[in-house]
Amino acid sequence: MLSIRRGAPLTVTNTTAAPHTVTADGGAFNSGTVSPNSTITMTFSTPGTYPFHCQIHPYMTGTLTVI
């Protein structure tokens, strides 16, 4: 479980050798492809609980809570 305040930047660094995405199951957000050794920043404006997955590796899942 990952929790963040709305509007606060969430920095994601891909430390693996494969590209990944951070994609909300319901479509509320999508990082696009994050290449190996690159970093992205995302912000979230609507409080809630968001299950997410990697579009490239759908077995990679998590949950983000925006407070």
Q: Which residue ranges make up the site for Cu ion (CB under 5 A)? A: 20, 54, 56-57, 60
**11 vs 46 by CB, closer to Cu ion:** 11
Helix-, strand-, coil-residue percentages of the chain, each rounded to 5:
0, 40, 60
Nearer to Cu ion (CB atom), residue 16 or residue 48: 16
Burial class (CB in 10 A: 0-12, 13-18, 19+), 33: middle
Least distance CB 59 / Cu ion (angstroms): 9
Q: How far is the CB of 20 from Cu ion (least distance, A)?
A: 3
Residue 54 or 66 with smaller CB distance to Cu ion? 54
Count CA atoms closer than 13 A to 7's CA, side-chain side: 0
